[in-house]
């Protein structure tokens, strides 16, 4: 049978999605059930264990199709937004609620139990998290579950940022976290995905997927703002013709630095640029 990318294919040794029957061999197949992420951010791991590798994160309001929940409280399924497959804590999921109407447009915001910023927040939500807003009572937006969110920190689902590079630059200084997608920690491809998604541009999760799917070939000698620079296992976003922004383990942060400096440092570590990709308007 055809080989599928395991990161994007809900199939494992003992189970596969019913939709894959006849395409992927498995002892049994399961119909998925739709859930919604209820935690501010939920880890999606390669294995059902707290010390398993973090593959990515799912943000509040994100949809996920679950095919299996084990006895230790881990749910196995596929994210709706980018198709990533893995294990999430089952207690981070709930049945879908009211239609999601808004998203967090600040790097982070708070949800309060009452209309006062002087009270302890119920939760802190990351950029891109989605909410169902019932009404507005300035300066707050009130969720369908009764939480109070600063109205200035949210935007409608249909609102898109005009410049994905500017979105990425807002994350400058955020700590590096493998698999991360929030201002508490983010990785190189997570930064690209979050920035492009904020502008309404679909984007795969990992850098190799992004290199294959995004843009057209360009040359490093004619670098432009918004070009994506790829190395094996790494990606950055050009801020102009001489600097770029990337989440990286050398700085352990999202950093803006001269492209030439990064090329030399990464070359010394044994890696060369594999491509430059230019997103067309």
Reply yes or no on whether the pLDDT at 212 is more than 80: yes
- How far is the C-alpha of 56 from the C-alpha of 67, rounded, in Å? 18
273/230 Cα distance (integer angstroms): 6
Mean pLDDT of 114-143: 98
Q: How far from chain centre, in Å, is Cα 196? A: 10
**Tokens at 64, concatenated:** 């996920």
Residue 1 has pLDDT above 70, yes or no: no
**pLDDT of 237 strictly over 90:** yes
* Residue 195 Cα distances to 111, 186, 190, 202, angstroms: 23, 12, 8, 10
DSSP string, 53-105: -EEEEEETT-EEEEEEE-TTSEEEEEETTT--EEEEEGGGEE---SPP-EEE-
| pLDDT tier at 281, thresholds 50, 70, 90 | low
Q: Let me know how long the chain is.
A: 281
Q: Within 13 Å and on the Cβ side, how many CA atoms surround 116?
A: 4
- pTM assigned to the model: 0.96
Average confidence (pLDDT) over 167-188: 98
Residues 102, 198: Cα–Cα separation, whole Å: 12
pLDDT tens, position by position, 41-52: 999 999 999 999
Mean pLDDT of the chain: 97
Q: What is the pLDDT of residue 2?
A: 61
Paired strand residues for 111: 123
Check residue 265 and report its DSSP letter: H
For residue 78, the number of C-alpha atoms closer than 13 Å in the C-beta half-sphere is 20
According to the model, what pLDDT value does residue 3 have?
74
User: What pLDDT does 213 receive?
Assistant: 97
> What sign results for the dihedral spanned by CA atoms 124, 130, 135, 138?
positive
- Residue range 58-69: average pLDDT? 98
Mean pLDDT, rounded, for 65-80: 98
Nearest residue to 86 (alpha-carbon basis) of 61, 60, 58, 62: 58
- The answer, yes or no, to whether residue 280 has pLDDT greater than 90, is no
């Amino acid at each position: 049978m055809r080989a599928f990318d395991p990161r994007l294919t809900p199939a494992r040794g003992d189970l596969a999605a019913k939709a894959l029957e006849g395409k992927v061999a498995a002892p049994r197949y399961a119909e998925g059930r739709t859930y919604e992420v209820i935690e501010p951010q939920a880890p999606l791991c390669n294995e059902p264990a707290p010390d398993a590798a973090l593959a990515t994160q799912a943000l509040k309001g994100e949809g996920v199709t679950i095919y299996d929940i084990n006895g230790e409280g881990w749910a196995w399924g596929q994210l709706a937004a980018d198709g990533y497959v893995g294990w999430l804590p089952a207690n981070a999921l709930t049945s879908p609620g009211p239609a999601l109407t808004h998203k967090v447009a600040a790097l982070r915001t708070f949800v309060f139990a009452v209309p006062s910023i002087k009270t302890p927040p119920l939760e802190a939500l990351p950029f891109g998290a989605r909410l169902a807003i019932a009404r507005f009572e300035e300066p707050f937006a009130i969720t369908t579950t009764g939480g109070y969110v600063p109205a200035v920190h949210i935007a409608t689902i249909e609102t898109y940022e005009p410049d994905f590079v500017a979105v990425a630059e807002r994350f400058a200084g955020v700590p590096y976290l493998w698999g991360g997608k929030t201002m508490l920690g983010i990785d190189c491809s997570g930064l690209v995905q979050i920035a492009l998604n904020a502008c309404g541009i679909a984007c795969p999760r990992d850098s190799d997927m992004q290199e294959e799917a995004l843009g057209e070939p360009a040359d490093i000698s004619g670098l432009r703002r918004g070009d994506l620079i790829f190395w094996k296992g790494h990606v950055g976003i050009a801020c102009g013709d001489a600097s770029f922004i990337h989440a990286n383990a050398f700085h352990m942060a999202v950093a803006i630095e001269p492209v030439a400096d990064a090329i030399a440092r990464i070359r010394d570590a044994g890696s060369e640029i594999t491509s430059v990709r230019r997103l067309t308007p």
